[in-house]
Amino acid sequence: MFSTKAWVHQAFEPLAERFGAEITWLEPRLGLETASLAAGHEVVCAFVNDQLDAAVLEKFASLGVKLLAMRCAGFNNVDLKTAARLGIGVVRVPAYSPYAVAEHALGMMLCLNRRYHRSWARLKEGNFSLDGLLGFDMRGKTVGIIGTGRIGQVLCGMLKGFEVKILAYDKFPSAALTETGVEYVELQRLYEESDIVSLHCPLTQETYHIINEYSLAAMKKGVMIINTSRGPLIDTDAVIEGLKAGKVGYLGLDVYEEEKDLFFEDLSDQVIQDDVFVRLLAFPNVLMTAHQAFFTKEAVDNIAETTLENIREFLETGTSKNRVAS
């Protein structure tokens, strides 16, 4: 098990005996330089920022690895074609708690709007001024949801309580969601009419940089953009230009294009080398968290249980209901 942090240990360890799993805890992130640590293991368990490209998978095949168990929903970092060619099965945890991510996205919207991050910092300095903290009522605003799968749908349900108008875009619209009053529209209209745009689609070739200079140009001045999905959905340079021009009024990111060199590590003693990331930190209207949207007790327990169940099922039957097709 690569990229193991304390929370991974705490979630998996109590279940290991029940599943008859012998786990080797490997703290390093998975990459070509660490892949050989999988020697002697049938199964590799990896996470969102591990590197699972052709070279790493070739290494695994040479070591006799049979299964790659992703302990996350997204699998954009896995070269599925190579895995299939090498006969390495890939399983994932498709749903562990859509509530965790949807609640985090909603939390980011409220925090950015009412500027809790700024007022808390001020308050601790003894500054009780309200200047610069003016928010807006959510009620009556238009929220655009891109991707109405599990997380997007849960977020729509939560937003209904705020009496907002919800516009949605998905390649496969949900009839059930339409019945709740959500209106599916083309992306262009969603961009033009939304006060808040929240991203809940997977990262694919089609969605890479879906937020770019052209989509930003179509949006309302002062729009709020929330990304709790995958960093590369947003062209970071374009959004920085948008922030500088005032086109983007608020930006909430739980994920970042180049996060793999930063997130999940304590780098507080180091000089951050990523100038783009540091530029983002300098905006008062940007709120960032380090890929923590999934991180609730319920979600983590589900991740551990489902991952071990996926592995057992695959080893016993040669496949799994949570197998990822190439």
Report the catalytic residues.
Answer: 230, 259, 291
Q: Which is nearer to ligand NAD, 43 or 300 (CB)?
A: 300
Which residue, 76, 17, 8, 18, is CA-closest to 45?
8
* Token output for 74: 């997204």
Q: What is the DSSP track for 270-325?
A: S----HHHHHHHT-TTEEE-SS-TT-SHHHHHHHHHHHHHHHHHHHHHS--TTBPP
As measured in angstroms, the least distance from the Cβ of 259 to ligand NAD is: 10
As measured in angstroms, the least distance from the Cβ of 132 to ligand NAD is: 28
How many residues can be counted in the chain?
A: 326
As measured in angstroms, the least distance from the Cβ of 303 to ligand NAD is: 10
Residue with smallest beta-carbon separation from ligand NAD: 149
Q: Which is nearer to ligand NAD, 115 or 150 (CB)?
A: 150
Q: Which residues, 6 or more positions from 121, have their beta carbon under 8 angstroms from its beta carbon? A: none
Enclosing H/E stretch for 167: strand 165-169
As measured in angstroms, the least distance from the Cβ of 156 to ligand NAD is: 11
Residues making contact with ligand NAD (CB under 6 A) = 73-74, 95, 98, 101, 146-152, 169-172, 200-204, 206-207, 228-230, 254-255, 291, 293-294
> β-pairing, 89-91 with 183-184?
unpaired
Q: Which is nearer to ligand NAD, 105 or 239 (CB)?
A: 105
Give dist(CA 320, CA 172) in Å, integer. 25
Q: Which is nearer to ligand NAD, 38 or 93 (CB)?
A: 93
